[in-house]
């Protein structure tokens, strides 16, 4: 049913999902046209997934088509990949070693699939990656020859929330409210709705539980300015907000995530400010205030090297003040922290020393005694997004280097496995002072080597073991100076989220 007016009632038909494992091969295709293959990853605990199409598993020659497409993370789409219409063997796999060659990938699913001419074969990986559900949908490429003004777009809905079986979806224009919204339909888990057409415009989507009028998700305005076709996928919200849903706008090129408009955010604070003679009265602890000191501190007496608890607050822009404990003597004032919807962040506070060059001639030892004449300090803030990734086979490590040293500005981190040395290690990352660096590591036992270069020499600052397994969470790795440690440095490993 064609509908170009969102304020008319819409009856959305649901197309049942076809389990790929239940499809049977039906011989070579007589159709010499082309179609598309698309992978969408809806498995929250999966690593990045590679999709391979192979025309003949028993033949490695060049006469048969074989291709492995780019990796697809959770909540992402691999885009529409154009291939000849034909019957193929399909593999879904992930990289559990250093190579992304097909023969080195770990396969989680194999089946046969048909790509038809002028159709998008839309493959969805869902639920627990250790026992995944694979769905495939055959979506006709829409011919909009009758749209002479090129002012329509095409849209389908797909509910992939793993625990909420049925939802209602409403739509309004961007300058209207839920009162003016129309019910598009009721959508069951894994059932792809029939295509509907709308005028190109800006819209807001609302989701309620089945047969309810209580809105549990409201999108920001979403713009549709091209005569394209989209699959709007509803999936589980892993972020901070109270809504159980996020909405992905999946096009032929990518997937764009939309979270609940007005969703709350969460943050915590880390004290990395060392005691310093120029920071009068500071004794390795501070209080944290948001938007002034009138309403009392959010965190009290946060000590050096400690994280605060995480608190949930409204999205928005906040001013952060630090004071000496139980006083209104400021350490810093008016540091900006922006919290957007559904986000989880950590704010690191640390000290930076700078040599003073009053006359700008580059000489900070004017009296020639071999010492810097004067230094000044600043207290800096670093705001970092915490990962909500729930992957069980690989984990992100966010490296925060809080070592301020005149002899080096960056530290090289090598994550060395049992059969490697630093020189042969595959997993390496460089982190400059006060600038985060991230690396993704597969489950294993690693020895972390933090190495700095002084002149031509490599200096080993510290080593530490890191064990990652299926129960691990995304990690912070903090490098700090520690006068009480034998090496003068310490590494702190901490979960990014509780």
Q: Name the band, by pLDDT with cuts 50, 70 and 90, for residue 353.
A: confident
44, two tokens? 């929250």
Q: Name the band, by pLDDT with cuts 50, 70 and 90, for residue 9.
A: very low
Mean pLDDT of the region 304-314: 95
- 382 and 402 part of one domain: no
Q: Which of 18-22, 65-69, 242-246 is the least confident region?
A: 18-22
Mean pLDDT of the region 473-482: 96
Mean pLDDT of the region 19-32: 38
Compute the distance between CA of residue 276 and CA of residue 453 in angstroms, rounded to an integer. Answer: 26
> How many angstroms separate the Cα of 28 from the Cα of each of 25, 136, 139, 372?
9, 19, 21, 79
Q: Name the band, by pLDDT with cuts 50, 70 and 90, for residue 64.
A: confident
- 130 and 221 part of one domain: yes
> Taking 60 as the threshold, does the pLDDT of residue 257 lie above it?
yes
- 351 and 476 part of one domain: no
- 336 and 457 part of one domain: no
Compute the distance between CA of residue 275 and CA of residue 379 in angstroms, rounded to an integer. Answer: 11
Question: Residue 20: helix, strand or coil by DSSP?
Answer: helix
- pLDDT recorded at residue 262: 84
Of the chain, the end-to-end C-alpha distance in Å amounts to 48
Compute the distance between CA of residue 327 and CA of residue 5 in angstroms, rounded to an integer. Answer: 61
| pLDDT per position as a tens digit, 276-295 | 999 999 999 999 999 877 78
Compute the distance between CA of residue 37 and CA of residue 84 in angstroms, rounded to an integer. Answer: 10
> Taking 90 as the threshold, does the pLDDT of residue 174 lie above it?
yes
> Taking 70 as the threshold, does the pLDDT of residue 28 lie above it?
no
Compute the distance between CA of residue 181 and CA of residue 184 in angstroms, rounded to an integer. Answer: 9
Q: Which of 261, 151, 165, 148 is nearest to 209 (CA)?
A: 165
- 413 and 485 part of one domain: yes
DSSP state of 243: -
Q: Which of 291-295, 365-369, 390-394 is the least confident region?
A: 365-369
SS3 content of the chain, % helix, strand, coil (to 5): 0, 50, 45
Residue 486, CB-side half-sphere exposure with 13 Å CA sphere:
3
> Taking 60 as the threshold, does the pLDDT of residue 297 lie above it?
yes
- 394 and 411 part of one domain: yes
> Taking 90 as the threshold, does the pLDDT of residue 10 lie above it?
no
Domain that holds residue 51: 1-262
- pLDDT recorded at residue 58: 79
Bigger pLDDT: 219 or 30?
219
Q: Which of 386, 411, 446 is a domain's end point?
A: 386
Which CATH number characterizes residue 426's domain?
2.60.40.10
- 343 and 465 part of one domain: no
Residues β-bridged to residue 353: 377
> Taking 50 as the threshold, does the pLDDT of residue 398 lie above it?
yes
Q: Determine how many CB atoms are found less than 10 A away from the CB of residue 444.
A: 15
- pLDDT recorded at residue 359: 62
> How many angstroms separate the Cα of 472 from the Cα of each of 222, 239, 275, 277?
36, 18, 33, 40
> Taking 70 as the threshold, does the pLDDT of residue 368 lie above it?
no
Q: Which of 350, 439, 349, 343 is nearest to 395 (CA)?
A: 439
Question: Residue 195: helix, strand or coil by DSSP?
Answer: coil
- 370 and 405 part of one domain: no
365, two tokens? 């030892």
- 400 and 258 part of one domain: no
Angle in degrees, CA 141, 146, 147, rounded to 5: 85
Name the average pLDDT for the chain. 89
- pLDDT recorded at residue 363: 62
Q: Determine how many CB atoms are found less than 10 A away from the CB of residue 115.
A: 25
Number of structural domains in the chain: 3
254, two tokens? 């990518």
- 418 and 378 part of one domain: no
Q: What percent of the chain has pLDDT over 70?
A: 88
Cα diameter, the chain: 88
Q: Which of 210, 240, 262 is a domain's end point?
A: 262
Contact of 42 with 126, CB cutoff 8 Å: yes
Mean pLDDT of the region 115-134: 97
Q: Name the band, by pLDDT with cuts 50, 70 and 90, for residue 217.
A: very high
Bigger pLDDT: 2 or 48?
48
Question: Residue 146: helix, strand or coil by DSSP?
Answer: coil
> Taking 60 as the threshold, does the pLDDT of residue 14 lie above it?
no
- 54 and 193 part of one domain: yes
> Taking 50 as the threshold, does the pLDDT of residue 29 lie above it?
no
| pLDDT per position as a tens digit, 404-424 | 998 898 999 999 999 999 999
| Bridge pairing between strands 475-481 and 265-272 | unpaired
Q: Which of 63-77, 93-107, 354-368, 463-477 is the least confident region?
A: 354-368
Residue with structure tokens 């059932």? 191
Mean pLDDT of the region 366-393: 83
195, two tokens? 């295509």
Distance of CA 79 to the CA centre of its chain: 18
Contacts of 192 (CB under 8 A, 6+ apart): 14, 15, 17, 122, 137, 139, 156, 157, 158, 231
Q: Which of 209, 240, 262 is a domain's end point?
A: 262
Compute the distance between CA of residue 379 and CA of residue 321 in angstroms, rounded to an integer. Answer: 11
Contact of 407 with 452, CB cutoff 8 Å: yes
| pLDDT per position as a tens digit, 134-148 | 999 999 998 776 666
Which CATH number characterizes residue 354's domain?
2.60.40
- 318 and 459 part of one domain: no
Compute the distance between CA of residue 391 and CA of residue 474 in angstroms, rounded to an integer. Answer: 9
134, two tokens? 């694979």
Q: What is the dihedral of CA 83, 89, 95, 96, to 10 degrees?
A: 180
> Taking 90 as the threshold, does the pLDDT of residue 93 lie above it?
yes
């Amino acid at each position: 049913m064609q509908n170009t007016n969102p304020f008319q009632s819409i009856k959305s038909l649901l197309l049942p999902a076809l389990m790929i494992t239940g499809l049977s091969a039906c011989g070579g295709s007589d159709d010499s046209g082309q179609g598309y293959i698309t992978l969408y990853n809806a498995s929250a605990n999966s690593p990045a997934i590679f999709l391979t199409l192979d025309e003949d598993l028993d033949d490695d020659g060049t006469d048969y088509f074989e291709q492995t497409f780019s990796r697809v993370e959770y909540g992402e789409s691999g885009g529409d990949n154009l291939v000849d219409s034909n019957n193929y063997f399909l593999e879904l796999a992930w990289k559990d070693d250093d190579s992304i060659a097909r023969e080195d990938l770990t396969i989680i699913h194999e089946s046969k699939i048909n790509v038809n001419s002028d159709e998008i074969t839309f493959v969805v990986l869902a639920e627990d990656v250790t026992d995944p559900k694979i769905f495939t949908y055959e979506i006709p490429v829409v011919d909009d020859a009758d749209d002479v003004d090129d002012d329509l777009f095409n849209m389908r809905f797909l509910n992939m929330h793993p625990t909420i079986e049925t939802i209602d979806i409403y739509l309004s224009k961007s300058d209207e409210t839920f009162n003016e919204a129309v019910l598009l339909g009721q959508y069951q888990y894994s059932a792809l709705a029939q295509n509907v057409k709308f005028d190109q415009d800006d819209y807001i989507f609302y989701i309620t539980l089945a047969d309810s009028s209580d809105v549990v998700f409201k999108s920001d305005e979403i713009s549709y300015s091209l005569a394209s076709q989209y699959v709007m996928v509803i999936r589980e919200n892993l972020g901070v907000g109270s809504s159980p849903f996020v909405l992905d706008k999946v096009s032929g090129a990518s997937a764009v995530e939309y979270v609940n408009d007005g969703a709350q955010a969460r943050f915590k604070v880390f004290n990395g400010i060392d005691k310093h003679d120029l920071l009068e009265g500071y004794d390795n602890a501070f209080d944290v205030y948001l938007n002034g000191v009138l309403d009392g501190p959010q965190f009290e007496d946060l000590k050096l090297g400690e994280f605060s608890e995480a608190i949930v607050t409204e999205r928005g822009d906040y001013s952060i003040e630090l004071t000496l404990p139980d006083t209104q003597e400021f350490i810093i004032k008016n540091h900006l922290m922006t919290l957007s919807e559904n986000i989880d962040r950590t704010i690191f506070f640390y000290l930076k020393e700078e040599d003073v060059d009053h006359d700008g001639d580059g000489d900070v030892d004017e009296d020639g005694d071999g010492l810097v004449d004067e230094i000044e300090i600043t207290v800096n803030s670093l705001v970092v997004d915490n990962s909500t990734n729930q992957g069980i086979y690989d984990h992100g490590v966010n490296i925060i280097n809080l070592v301020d040293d005149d002899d080096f500005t960056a530290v090289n981190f090598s994550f060395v496995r049992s059969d490697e040395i630093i020189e042969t290690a595959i997993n390496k990352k460089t982190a400059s002072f006060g600038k985060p660096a991230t690396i993704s590591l597969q489950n294993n036992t690693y020895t972390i080597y933090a190495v700095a270069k002084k002149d031509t020499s490599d200096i080993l600052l510290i080593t530490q073991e890191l064990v990652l397994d299926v129960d691990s969470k995304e990690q912070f790795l903090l490098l700090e100076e520690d006068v009480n440690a034998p090496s003068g440095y310490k590494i702190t490993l901490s979960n990014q989220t509780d």
